[in-house]
Chain A
Amino acid sequence: MSLSHGAHAHATPPTIAARPSIRTWPEINNPAAWIVAIILLIMPLIANGFFLIEIFGTTLILGIVALSLMFLAGYGGMVSLMQLTIAGFAGYMYAIFGMSASANISLGWPWWLATPMALALATIFGTLGGALAVRTAGIYTIMITLAIAAAFFYFTNQNWPLFNGHTGINTIATPHFWGVDWRGDIPFYYVVLAVAALCYFAVEYLSRAPFGLALQGVRDNPRRMAALGFNVNAHRVAAYAFASFVAALGGILQVWNYRQIAPGSVSVGAAIDILIIAVVGGITRPVGPFIGAFIFVILRTFALDFLVKIGLDGNRFRLLIGLGFLAVVFWSSDGVIGLWERWKRGTSDPAGTSRRHGHG
């Protein structure tokens, strides 16, 4: 698993002086993290509605879904392509249990009942999928999860009684309480930001909790962990359960954002986009997926104008994404974060390069 190498490098700092920082949150001593947090908090003052939701809201939502993949791939060594499918499943469940324009399908539950129901069902769905995927190990995980994702996509397309076929479910009701419309631009942005922060710190915490450390042990050497008395498969399935919950949160936010869900939202291409986001950002740290999502959303939004401006066909956005992804996979095993760190090391501490190689 070359792509997940180096993940343990940051859990074991090279110098003793840095050791106490593992016990506290690593962000506390990092000024860049504080600056980013403050910018994100005062974003509604800076950005208008379009930027707030279409760029930053979407980035955070995609980042949450990709974060669940990062957790599985980076700490568990399991590259699951069904994270978007779990998110889409949660969205569909919210649409089916909640209120929408399709009165013959939606059960009309209020949002505070439909949301936990959708979260619970999606978590169960993802855990069962994970339990299937851990029946085989390594590279098979990709095949099985991709098969699950594709099967769900075709199922939503052909099933009318539950999923309303290829039209999907439209005009889904969003929460509205305490006199606030929570789908309004600014309240919705803060909801998304809060959920994203929660997921981010949950993953960050879990990666250093006993469970996360055991999971990383399972990733590096399942046989030795089994010999030490750890239940390898139980750890893997539990990782899937946690990741499914995170992905389901992203799915609920997604459906609140667009107020509709259709098979296109769970297509195989979209599922692969999540992998691209996570890999481009870097799957060794929780911040990677958010960086990847930001790059992806910026490209998706502005590639058309940019391509037309330099005299190319504006419809070649996916080509650009595919080539960019190939470049990252070819030249950096740790995505944009890896490139950034290599550059930082190259400028400040040239001797550090050889030391880091010892870990990989």
Chain B
Amino acid sequence: MQIDKNQLLRFTTAGSVDDGKSTLIGRLLYDSKSIFEDQLSAVEKTSQQKGIEGVDLALFTDGLKDEREQGITIDVAYRYFTTPKRKFIIADTPGHIEYTRNMVTGASTANAAVILIDARHGVIEQTKRHAYIASLLQIPHILVCINKMDLVDHSEEVYNDIVTQFEQFSSKLYIKDVRYIPISALNGDNVVNRSENMNWFKGSPLLYELETLHISSDINKIDARFPVQTVLRPQRDEFRDYRGYAGRIASGIYRVGDEVVVLPSGFTSKIKSINAGEKSVDEAFAPMSISMTLEDDIDVSRGDMILRKNNQPEAIQEFDVMLCWLNNKSAQPRAKYTIMHTSNEQKAMIKEVVYKLDINTYQRINEDKDLHMNDICRVKIRTTRPLMIDAYKNNRTTGSLVLIDENTKETVAAGMII
């Protein structure tokens, strides 16, 4: 295996048990031989107890005790599988409206989203919700799987109808890359192996798409953004006066010798050295974790950003954000929160709720402006000091933030900067 070139792809699957989501994930794990024998025999045993013939694939994704008892998924569960081409991380999220927060969580780091549609029912409210969240979180690739094709006689017409339905409503959304695949997760058609029941389909099976999606250009390599996490000051003679600025490059490429500016101070300098672990390197790019030293002895600390002079984010105190409320405790008007944005923390206030969004119809709601769990809304935020921000559509790291309630210390909202 030439594993040294293999990439990591994170994808999210949203849907309910009825869509066959668990069966699909079970199928991917099973057909890619990621299931171990002891797991298989446990599932075979449970399948038998339930009176199911053969193996119930959905049982491979069975979760915690409460979830098994109630037959639901409460939280985001992460699953892993590897093929000779890639390593995959699945963020498996429940699809009901009360779990919008989990879908948003799973979507936040995903390269791709798999949206399941039951071929018998076509596009339903839930489909629209999933597509909206995928577009809100700017997941670069959407794979729409029209499942249970075996129950509609593998009909090309049914498939085409659903594709048309999806295209119609999703034209209102910002989705860069969408592909459609007719599948039967239960029988394995077009999941890992090409279906013999649907020769009319000229596209590729789901796993092939996941293995070949072009993801290296999804990370912004143009705008160099380096938020400083911590400063390394080794107390050792051979590293006297050493100050390494450690962090994970959010976007762009940095090279030794680059002229840089540190915000918010505005001091300028040149990159003297870059370290990736113990190795000294000439250049580094997102999403590498590195440390760098500068030619000049200037004051840099956690929360600062090291940037190129001619390409800087906005440093502002008031901006608009699409917010997803994640907490049982509703937002109080003009309440104060702590914002976490890259490695920076500031006090902030929700100045105004501009509108709330009905994520099933995409209609704006102007009359009701209270923010409850799972609500998505556009707000104006004011911070006590400037934040160095980019629009989320240009940068998923410097364009995202969370709000923390200082009274409970909990993460109460996720925001995407407009």
Q: Are A and B a genuine interacting pair, yes or no?
A: no
Q: Which residues of B does A touch, CB under 8 Å?
A: none
